[in-house]
């Protein structure tokens, strides 16, 4: 994965360093590729992009595995949460779309722990941006008026994952989110891993079915 930095200026300047992965056949083709935005957990915050490669999707790629997606993995600054950077994440996505061959009908988002929470927050902030979401052991952000904002993504395909022995983010967080989404007419999937603690992402990203599931969804109108 290549290390880069994205700077966004609006009322103030925001910078998010990020890693980007391009599929093996990206340079040899002229086709547009699906994109996954990956949001890391609390432990990978800071300025050392190498730390992103220790967990989740960047770790899978760094280990030599390939997937047919452009993968963008930004890094959250220390002492903040993804919820404080939603606008910058959106501008980063816009920048990647402008500078890479992205199939805008097939944009996806996933994240683990703090990144799982960020996944819920970003999709509800920008409904219609993503064709499907895959949050892992995230929690609701009450400061963002959950669960009411879940109505915005009631039609979005959601596949949520959580370990039943998680003592960092209790399983009840994912149950709460998916149950409320169902109450608004959504149809989310929730996979619960038996006797699994906080690390419910390693086996999730190792499962080839999740990538097939993502690719089975697309949005009808380009962003």
Q: What is the mean pLDDT of residues 205-215?
A: 98
Mind listing the pLDDT tens digit for each residue in 39-83? 999 999 999 999 999 999 999 999 999 999 999 999 999 999 999
Distance CA 163, CA 140 (A): 16
What is the pLDDT at residue 12? 54
CATH superfamily of 2-215: Alpha/Beta hydrolase fold, catalytic domain (3.40.50.1820)
E-strand stretches of the chain: 2-9, 13-21, 33-39, 70-74, 102-112, 132-136, 159-163, 189-193
Predicted confidence band of residue 223 (pLDDT cuts 50, 70, 90): very low
Q: Tell me whether residue 137 is exposed, middle or buried, using C-beta atoms within 10 angstroms of its C-beta: 0 to 12, 13 to 18, 19 or more.
A: buried
Q: How far apart are CA 193 and CA 200, in angstroms?
A: 7
| Tens-digit pLDDT profile for residues 80-134 | 999 999 999 999 999 999 999 999 999 999 999 999 999 999 999 999 999 999 9
Please state, in angstroms and rounded to a whole number, the distance separating the CA atoms of residues 137 and 163.
7
Residue 11 is predicted with a pLDDT of 47
pLDDT of the residue at 5 = 63
pLDDT of residue 14: 66
**pTM for this prediction:** 0.92
pLDDT higher than threshold 70 for residue 159: yes
Give pLDDT, residue 221.
62
């Amino acid at each position: 994965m290549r290390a880069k930095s994205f700077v966004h200026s609006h009322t103030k300047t925001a910078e998010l360093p990020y890693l980007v992965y391009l599929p093996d056949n990206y340079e040899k083709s002229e086709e547009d590729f699906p994109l996954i935005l990956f949001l890391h957990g609390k432990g990978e915050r800071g300025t050392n992009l190498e730390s992103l490669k220790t967990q989740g999707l960047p770790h899978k790629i760094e280990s030599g595995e390939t997937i047919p997606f452009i993968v963008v993995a930004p890094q959250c600054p220390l002492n903040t949460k993804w919820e404080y950077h939603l606008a910058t994440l959106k501008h980063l996505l816009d920048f990647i779309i402008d500078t890479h061959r992205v199939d805008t009908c097939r944009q996806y988002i996933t994240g683990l722990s703090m990144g799982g929470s960020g996944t819920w927050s970003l999709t509800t902030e920008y409904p219609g941006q993503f064709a499907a979401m895959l949050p892992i052991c995230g929690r609701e952000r009450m400061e963002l008026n959950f669960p009411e904002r879940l109505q915005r993504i009631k039609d979005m395909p959601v596949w949520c994952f959580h370990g039943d022995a998680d003592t960092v983010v209790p399983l009840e967080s994912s149950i709460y989110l998916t149950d409320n989404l169902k109450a608004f007419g959504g149809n989310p999937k929730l996979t619960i891993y038996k006797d699994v603690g906080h690390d419910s992402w390693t086996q999730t990203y190792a499962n080839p079915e999740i990538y097939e599931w993502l690719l089975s969804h697309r949005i009808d109108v380009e962003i």
